[in-house]
Chains A and B, each alone.
Chain A
Amino acid sequence: MSTTELLSASFHAERRPEPIINDFSIQVATVNGSGSQTANNVLMRSIFQMGVPVSGKNLFPSNIAGLPTWFTIRASKYGWIGRKKEIDFLVAMNPETARDDVMGLEAGAAVVYDEPLKLNELRSDLYFYPVPFDKLTGPVCPEAKLRKLVRNMIYDGVLAHLLGIEMDQIQAALQKQFGARKAKAVELNWNAVKAGKAFAEANLAKIDPYRIERMDCNRGKFIIEGNAASALGAMFAGVTVVAWYPITPSTSMVESLMGYMRRFRVDPATGKPTFAIVQAEDELAAIGMVIGAGWAGARAMTATSGPGLSLMSEFAGLAYYTEVPAVILNVQRVGPSTGLPTRTQQGDVLVSAVLSHGDTKHPLLFPSSPEECFSMTGAAFDLAEQFQTPVFIMSDLDLGMNNWVSEPFEYPAEPMKRGKVLTKEDLDRLGGFARYQDVDGDGVGYRTLPGTAHLAAAYFTRGSGHNEKAQYSERGEDYVRNMDRLARKFESIRGVVPRPQIAVNPAARVGVVCYGTSRYAAEESRDQLRREYGMETSYLRIKAFPFSPDVKDFIAAHDRVYVIDQNRDGQMLGLMRLDLEPELCVKLRSVRHYDGLPVDARSVTDEIVKQEGL
């Protein structure tokens, strides 16, 4: 007997495995453009409504229709919502990828598949559930052209039976998904769900261990994409001018913003919008308009991704050197060049920090959740205007384009910080001003806005060398004085950026540093290291660059510090090397993940274990 046969025999002997409740991942493999997104979102929402911590990740191609796409849902009673490397429950709908999808599973996984694909013949160590999708779709969807879209809803019904997802919740999720106005669509899809459920009840005996059971973890929470959260952040931060150029994965931020602004930012008295959103001819013009608007006193922003960011480089340096506020949301995707436009990476950390030629430095904020997409967009506007400089919000595709279960957003507690702007009355009192003079010792000068009705209000903004009075100057002394003040300004920013989230374990010799979406893998990995290896770690999540002094203290307090990066070159670690003392940098170790999928805890754990020699 071969090893496989042995395994197989023992596998099937064990017909009643221990139930695994609320701790597994489901992957649905479909074809792009087949309407599977609705079925998947309904599935995720149903689990959410049952109070179970859940996350959803859409792995999709750069294509409108026809190429394979996978949607992964993870339910975790422990609250681990990062990507799980192993798939426990597969729904194989795509004949093109079905074989690979099945072969990639670990023993003991379950597979719901389209019956004609005969996937059960491929392996004997999995739980297989054949479903004749086409036969079930016909009767519930008489209209042939809609069948492709409705077909996917069948598996929601099948999973309701197999996993124990409550039908009421699926129905409620469907209604939420389509809204009250699309009752017909709800009915059509609901019939498909019911057909799937009825078929499964009659024909599929539950043999796998995976189950969803009601919990109470989602009270007050809601489901939102990071990009929509960023849009809300911008709206409540009082953004008035948005200029942009469509690019995946940032596009949905602006589209979401347009929808919200039309609802909530039209002056009820006059019916006039309190904003302008302009689709520019390219990213150069987009950031140019943002800078023009910021210069004239508006809260202005753009949203972009890799290639767009590269195009904005020239203007980013102009804004830094002329000291004009701007907010740039960078929803990072996989580079270099066009790269993998629909996959995720934290690959723009270094380039964003120093975007443009010459000695240019920019503050960066690293949101890790929808709540932070919301709050940090507000913080970015305050920072940009207070410090008269472009501020980059470093989101990524995983955060921006996936659905997340979110804690409630906190309404901004404080008035907007609009920075040092002199009015006509100020000028009447002062008589005049020098635009780039460091009056307050924080490196930040006072500015006036064009349109200020005073003969002393004007100054000349230029990307060429200038002195304190904003006059053209090629004098070395003027240049150095100005650049030193800009460096001082950057140090002032260091003092006010969001501070890291820190959990120091006094018993730990090792620290784990993460940022943005790598937090989910980092947090779960610490748990794995503790449970599986008895290794205690401390934790620091970076929220901003320049790094607050806490980062230095954290590294100093530990022997080794693992920095988790979702890029090939360990870019955050590289940025830390630029910013920190050499004796601290020798303690830094790098954990890197860059295959285009969100980093998972197992990969982090394996790498730390390897480097620790455990």
Chain B
Amino acid sequence: MSATTALPPKRTNRIGLEILPYKGGKTTLCAGCGHNAISERLVEAFFEMGVAPWDVAKFSGIGCSSKSPAYFLGASHGFNGVHGRAPAVATGALLANHKLMGIIVSGDGDTASIGLNHFMHTLRRNPPLIYIIENNGVYGLTKGQFSATADVGAKLKSGIVNELPPVDCCLLAVEMGATFVARSFSGDKKQLSAILKACIAHKGLSVVDVISPCVTFNDHEGSTKSYAYMKDHDEPLHEIDFVPSYEDMEVDIEEGEVIEIELHDHSRLRMKKIGREHDPTDKLAAVKLIHEAAESGLIPTGILYVDRERENFIDLLELGDTPLAHLPESATRPSREALETIMEELR
């Protein structure tokens, strides 16, 4: 019998890493902020999927949401740039190195107001990117003004009521070319985790609009983005099981109840209906669902739309295997003879 007790082995993931490199710095957001919960889900999702953190690049704009890339995946490069324009920076980085897994964390002001133009054109391009919108309906860092996703009738703490219709980022995403569109709630751990893992498995633009209450400026009576309001109005469409490609798991198909979608990396999404009927491969159904939900006042959450056919932006460019950033000089500087040929043609 040994005199010492062995410490329990530290938990590692399938590439042999502990969770530490997946964690980030200490958050400076408010205690109870929905964004912190989303960061935790991201840590779990990337750790559990065994994504090497050095293969991930994080991007954000300006705002509370945009601070959060500092709070997860500390061993990944991050770029906190200018307000609303993270998609441009992320797209550029992917052009330079398409082997990177890009993730944008944005907010409702960042995406639906100042960056709306870039958001929409990024949807058209469909780059292989995860695009998370931490949606709380208000500007937090400037202390509580409405954002463009605030619902009609929503009331600020000061009593001001919003009378302009909201921008629905999921509706735009479905309409303009994103190939994976989901809505979730920062308080729904299980659903959000499954969705994030599906995003990792999807090789196109994944847009996830996460209702993420602002405990300081938009969690009061009269808010439509508060914890209490979400508890009453969240309508999960389905229970989502994410079955990763590397897990050889047999699943029982329950006829008529479950929709299964195979993602690009051969992972599978199994969606067991709990809310209203919805087929996420049907674009028109997704549009209809979002419109109907807006009228009913409910917020259906889950996978709204998946398109596995559309080519992503990198594939469209037909780039070679070696990232452009790593091509040797011999590949990027044409020969002396080439220059001579060009000059001779101009003589």
Contact = CB atoms under 8 A, between A and B. Distances in A.
B is bound to A? yes
B319 A236 contact: no
A415 B333 CA distance: 10
A275 B120 CA distance: 24
Nearest to A270: B320
A461 B74 CA distance: 12
Interface stretch (B186-194, B208-216, B261-269, B324-332): B324-332
A264 B318 contact: no
B79 interface: yes
Interface string B86-104: 0111111111110110000
Interface string A453-465: 1110111111110
B53 A455 contact: yes
A288 B97 contact: no
A284 interface: yes
A86 to B, nearest CB: 30
B46 to A, nearest CB: 13
Given A241-B324, A273-B317, A412-B333, A293 B54 contact: no
B323 interface: yes
B77 A457 contact: yes
B339 A409 contact: yes
A501 B120 CA distance: 48
B257 interface: no
Contact of B92 (A292, A408, A412, A416): A292
A460 B68 CA distance: 12
Given A280-B121, A296-B325, A235 B334 contact: yes
A322 B78 CA distance: 12
Interface string B235-274: 0000000000000000000000000000000000000000
A276 B85 contact: no
A285 B329 contact: no
A315 B55 CA distance: 25
Contacts of A220: 347
A381 to B, nearest CB: 10
A409 B97 CA distance: 31
A314 interface: yes
A265 interface: yes
A74 B31 CA distance: 73
A276 B317 contact: yes
Given A409-B339, A458-B74, A451 B121 contact: no
B306 interface: no
B343 interface: yes
B78 A284 contact: no
A457 B82 contact: no
Contacts of A193: none
A293 B52 contact: no
B320 A267 contact: yes
A273 B331 CA distance: 10
A292 B93 CA distance: 4
A450 B69 CA distance: 15
A553 B125 CA distance: 53
A557 B118 CA distance: 53
B336 interface: yes
A291 B89 contact: yes
Nearest to A454: B54
B84 to A, nearest CB: 9
A298 B324 contact: yes
A295 B85 CA distance: 15
Contact of B79 (A292, A408, A411, A471): A292
B1 interface: no
A408 B343 contact: yes
Contacts of B53: 455, 458
**Candidate in B85, B87, B88, B334 with the most chain A CB atoms within 10 angstroms:** B88
B338 interface: yes
A221 interface: yes
Main SS class of interface, B: helix
Interface in A190-241: 220-224, 232, 235-241
A429 interface: no
A603 B281 CA distance: 70
Interface in A233-252: 235-241, 243
**Candidate in B74, B81, B336, B338 with the most chain A CB atoms within 10 angstroms:** B81
Contact of B77 (A272, A273, A458): A458
A314 B82 contact: yes
Given A221-B347, A285-B118, A232 B342 contact: yes
A238 B338 CA distance: 14
Contacts of A322: 79, 81
B3 interface: no
A311 to B, nearest CB: 11
B326 A297 contact: yes
A272 B336 CA distance: 21
B222 interface: no
A178 interface: no
Contacts of A267: 320, 331
**Candidate in B90, B93, B323, B327 with the most chain A CB atoms within 10 angstroms:** B93
Contacts of A117: none
B77 to A, nearest CB: 4
Given A223-B346, A463-B82, A296 B97 contact: yes
B289 interface: no
A548 B283 CA distance: 61
B55 A241 contact: no
B334 A415 contact: no
B312 interface: no
B166 interface: no
Contacts of B324: 240-241, 274-276, 293, 298
Nearest to B58: A460
A461 B336 contact: no
B117 interface: yes
Interface in A380-413: 408-409, 411-412
Nearest to A449: B325
A467 to B, nearest CB: 13
7 contacts: A270-B320, A284-B88, A292-B96, A293-B95, A450-B77, A451-B77, A471-B25
3 pairs of A and B residues whose beta carbons are closest in the complex: A292-B92, A288-B88, A297-B325
Interface of A: 220-224, 232, 235-241, 243, 260, 264-265, 267, 270, 272-276, 278, 280-282, 284-300, 314-315, 318, 322, 408-409, 411-412, 415-416, 448-455, 457-464, 471-472
Given A264-B342, A296-B94, A297-B96, 9 more contacts: A232-B342, A281-B117, A281-B120, A297-B325, A315-B81, A322-B79, A412-B333, A451-B97, A458-B53
